[in-house]
Amino acid sequence: MKRMKNKKGAIGIIFFFIILFVILILGFVTAILWSAIDIVSDEVTPIMEDLGVIGGANVSEASENTIGVADTFVQALPWIIAVGYVLALIFTLVFVFVVGYSPHPAFIAFYFMLMILLVFGCIIISNIYQDIYTGTDEMASRLQEQTILSYMLLYSPMIMFTIAIIGGILMFSRRSDSEGGGSGGGGYGI
């Protein structure tokens, strides 16, 4: 009886690293965008709440109910962003586990090459973030308020390296579907 071979190749490995890098870039962009929105919100909210009555309409009360609520939401966003970032990183490992992708051991060198590229990308993003984070301007103070996300971005090379190692262990230590699938020890029928 002929067995079907696993023909997926390295596409699962490539997707894994693309997802990790996209999460890193989204975290960086989101942190910068939140800082800009927070600066604007802190400038606009007091002005809008002090307008008073214009033409018989109490604009201050209306802006307090709209812009004041939006400002409260903006102030809560750092925790939401940080939790979303951490959950996205955890999702990548769950994704590897659930999909059950088990590449051939010949792809280990390719995996390590992509892992090194990911770490270099993390170092670049981390250095850019650190340059903005350690500044003395308004943007730096807003980034310093985001303690969890700032920590995750500043130490992203080590965090992503750890996630890549765990993901590699999950990928390469499981048996492929063509070798009887899923249970038992050894990767790809080894």
pLDDT tens digits for range 112-136:
999 999 999 999 999 999 999 998 8
- Alpha carbons within 13 angstroms on the beta-carbon side of residue 163 total 29
Report the range of poorest mean pLDDT among 2-16, 59-73, 160-174: 2-16
Q: What percent of the chain has pLDDT over 90?
A: 42
What CA–CA distances, in Å, run from 25 to 42, 49, 63, 105, 122?
26, 36, 34, 29, 9
Sorted by sequence, the CB contacts under 8 Å of residue 79 that are 6+ apart come out as 148
pLDDT band at residue 184 under the 50/70/90 scheme: very low
Computed over every residue of the chain, the mean pLDDT equals 83
For 78-121, the pLDDT digits (tens) are: 899 999 999 999 999 888 888 777 788 888 999 999 999 999 99
Supply the pLDDT for residue 41: 83
Instruction: Give the residue from 10, 183, 181 showing the smallest Cα distance to 108.
Output: 10
pLDDT band at residue 176 under the 50/70/90 scheme: low
Supply the pLDDT for residue 53: 67
Torsional sign, CA 44, 48, 49, 50: positive
Q: What angle do CA 69, 139, 32 make, to 5 degrees?
A: 75
Higher pLDDT, 147 or 104: 147
Supply the pLDDT for residue 190: 47
Q: What is the mean pLDDT of residues 170-185?
A: 62
pLDDT of 57 higher than 60: yes
Instruction: Give the residue from 25, 6, 12, 42 showing the smallest Cα distance to 142.
Output: 42
At 54, is the secondary structure helix, strand, or coil? strand
pLDDT of 152 higher than 80: yes
